[in-house]
Amino acid sequence: MTGWGLARGARHVVWDWNGTLLDDNHAVLEGVNAVCRSYGREPLTLDQWREMFSRPLLACYERVLDRSLTLEEWADLDRRYHDTYRGLLSTCGLAAGVPDHLHAWSAAGGTQSLLSMWFHDELVPLITEMGLAELFARVDGLRVDVGGGSKAEHLVEHLDALRLDPADVVLIGDVADDAHAAQQAGASCVLVSTGMMSRSALEATGAPVADSVAEAMALVQGARAA
């Protein structure tokens, strides 16, 4: 399967973290529902959150809560979510096939990096503890106190720092914003259905959609060999 999202000959993979390499759906959902409870909203199921999830997150939460939010409320909401999520982070494991498929990509001569919207000063120690740091040519996380913006500008800066031609790059992520970021940067993209968006929403981006890291890497390697 090919399309705008997967060009031939990719030599570098930029990985997303949450929902892609890290299996953290239960922690994400509990963080979301901690916010819902604080605003008197009924908790969401994972499927409901996947249907409602979008970026920017401020607008997403305004839809979920059916009300506008001040910047102060948004900052408080963001902290509430992250405090709950951090409390469950130790219960999150790596996605199926990680790190085996990453090692295989490196062994085949490919390079890879990590670009996440999780906080940089927490991301680096976490991937180091999990034994993944050595796999990545560069690791970039969020370097601001409150998250939720688009990934596009971060991807451009990430590729510039690596001095990579976007035409040689495929981004693997789990949400539509990953596809939009790749498209704006001129990179390829494969999306995995293991994270925070429904498969139909992922397919609507026009990017190839896989159901696992293994399937995503099979698509990348197939396009590379074509």
Structure pTM? Answer: 0.93
Per-residue model confidence (pLDDT) at position 55: 82
| Residue 89 · residue 35 · CB < 8 Å | no
Each residue's pLDDT tens digit, 53-73:
988 889 999 999 999 999 999
Each residue's pLDDT tens digit, 104-159:
999 999 999 999 999 999 999 999 999 999 999 999 999 876 655 679 999 999 99
Per-residue model confidence (pLDDT) at position 9: 81
Long-range contacts of 165-171 (CB under 8 A, 24+ apart): 167/7, 167/9, 168/9, 168/10, 168/11, 168/12, 169/10, 169/11, 169/12, 169/13, 169/14, 170/6, 170/7, 170/10, 170/12, 170/13, 170/14, 170/220, 171/13, 171/14, 171/16, 171/115
Per-residue pLDDT at 192 exceeds 90: yes
**Average confidence score pLDDT of the chain:** 93
Per-residue model confidence (pLDDT) at position 163: 98
- Please give the CATH superfamily to which domain 12-23+94-225 belongs: HAD superfamily/HAD-like (3.40.50.1000)
Per-residue model confidence (pLDDT) at position 4: 64
Per-residue model confidence (pLDDT) at position 1: 37
User: pLDDT category, 51, cuts 50, 70, 90?
Assistant: very high
